[in-house]
Amino acid sequence: MTTTVVIGGNFAGMTAALEIKRKGKDRHRVIVIDKSPLFLFIPSLIWVPLGRREVKDISFRKDEILNRKGVEFVQTEALEVDPENNIVKTKKGNFTYDHLVVATGPKVDYHVAPGVKEHAHYIGTPNGAMKTRKALEEFKKNPGPMVIGATQNAGCMGAAYEFLFNIEKWLREQKIRKKVDLYWITPETFLGHFGIDGIPGGETMLKSFMKMFNIHYRTEVGVEEVTENSVKLTSGEELPSKFTMLMPPFIGVDFVTNSPALNPTANGYLPVGEDYRHPDWPNVWAAGIAVDVKLPFKPGKVPFSGPKTGYPSDETGKIVAENIIRVEKGKEKLKKKAWGKIPGICVMDAGKKEVIILSDHLFKPRRFAIMIPNVFHDFSKVLFEKYFLWKTRHGYSQLP
C-alpha cells in the first residue's frame, strides 16, 4: 500500500487528499496533518466583520468528512520534513511516507512595516475578522477617516478591494458615511492590476467605482508605518486614520522554512515544476499557496505579488493527486499546467454588487479576459459560496 502524507487541509490539501483516495481506493493510504479540524471558506471572511456571516456559517468539521471518505486525519502541527528518509516530524511523533504533499496555507508577515501588527486590522483569519467587527462597533460611535488597502509585497489585493466596497456600503447603512474620509492604498501600478497585470476595462471600471463612492485612492505606494491615528506611506504622505485594515504579504509557513533540504525560496515557498513536483525530491509535491509562483511582469516601484486564491489552489490539488496516481501506476507522462495558465475565475463582491472576472489564463498571454459588473446584487458570489460549501461538506472533490 502506498502512503501519502498531506500537510494542510483547506482548499488544496483537502482536495488533494480526497482525490488521491478516490482514485487510489484501497491501494492508497492518505493521512492529512493539520492544526485545525475545521475547513474554512476563506473568501467569505470579508463578510464576518460586518455581521453578514458568522464564522460558523462558513466552516465545518473536515476531520469527519475525511474519515468518512477513508482519509486519516491527525490534528497536530507539522514541524519539519526529512526528505532523505521520507519522514515528517510533528508534535505527535513522526510519520513516514511514500509521497508528501505540502499544501500549507500562508503565514502572514505582520512585520512588513512598523505598527502593522499593533494598529492595523486583518480580516484573513476568523480571529482577525471578529476583532475587526468589534473595532467597527467602536468606530461608529466616533467616526473619522479610514484607510483600507494592501501593503508592499502583498498579493491578496482582491479581498482588500472587496472589503473596501463592503465597508463603504456599511458606512452608508450606519448613516455615518458623510463623516468618513475613505482612503484606498495599494502597491499596484494601477487600479485593478490584482497581481495578474489587469483585465481589459478593469482600471476604468474601478476608477468609476472610486468616483461613484467618493473613495480617495493612492496607487504605487507602500506602508512606511502605521500608528494609532495615521498611516505613513512610502511616498512621504501621511493619511489620518481612526480605523485601518491592511492586507500584509503572505510568506511560507515554518514547516517549510524549517526544512532546508526542500530548498525553499527566500519567502518560504517550494520550487516545483509545471507538474507541481519538487525538482530534487520526486516524491515531494506542492499545491496551493505553498507553490512558488514566478510573476511574468515587473511590479513597478513598489513590489507586490500575484494572487493565490481558492480556485488555483483547488486545481493544483487535483493535478498533484492525478500525478501521484500516475506515478504509482508506473506512468512517465504527468499532467502539467503552470500556475499562470490556470483559468482566472473570480467573483469580486462590491457591497451587494459584484464584478465577475473570467479569463482563460491567470497570467498573460490570454486569448480572452473579461470583467462583467452586476450592479443589482451579489448573487453569483453567494451562489458560489453555497456550492463550494455543499460540495466540500459531501467530499465531492472531483467536482469543479
Q: Structural domain boundaries of the chain?
A: 2-107+251-340, 110-249
3-class DSSP state of 390: helix
- pLDDT of 174 reads 97
CA dist 188 and 221 (Å) reads: 8
CATH fourth-level superfamily of 2-107+251-340: FAD/NAD(P)-binding domain (3.50.50.60)
- pLDDT of 171 reads 98
Query: 2-107+251-340 with 110-249: one CATH topology?
Result: yes
CA dist 24 and 1 (Å) reads: 10
- pLDDT of 352 reads 84
Among 246, 5, 255, CA closest to 106:
255
Among 133, 125, 199, CA closest to 166:
133
Cell 476595462 -> residue: 201
- pLDDT of 233 reads 98
Q: Rg of the chain over CA atoms, in angstroms?
A: 21
- pLDDT of 382 reads 95
Q: Which residues pair with 359 in a beta bridge?
A: 344, 369
Handedness of CA 183, 193, 46, 382 (dihedral sign): positive
Is 205:355 a contact under the CB 8 Å cutoff? Answer: yes
* Nearest-5° Cα angle at 230, 227 to 235: 105
Q: What is the pLDDT of residues 254-289, one digit of tens each?
A: 999 999 999 999 999 999 999 999 999 999 999 999
Is 79:92 a contact under the CB 8 Å cutoff? Answer: no
Is 117:110 a contact under the CB 8 Å cutoff? Answer: yes
Contacts of 78 (CB under 8 A, 6+ apart): 7, 33, 88, 89, 90, 104, 255
Q: Which fold has domain 110-249?
A: FAD/NAD(P)-binding domain (3.50.50)
Residue spans of the chain under pLDDT 50: none
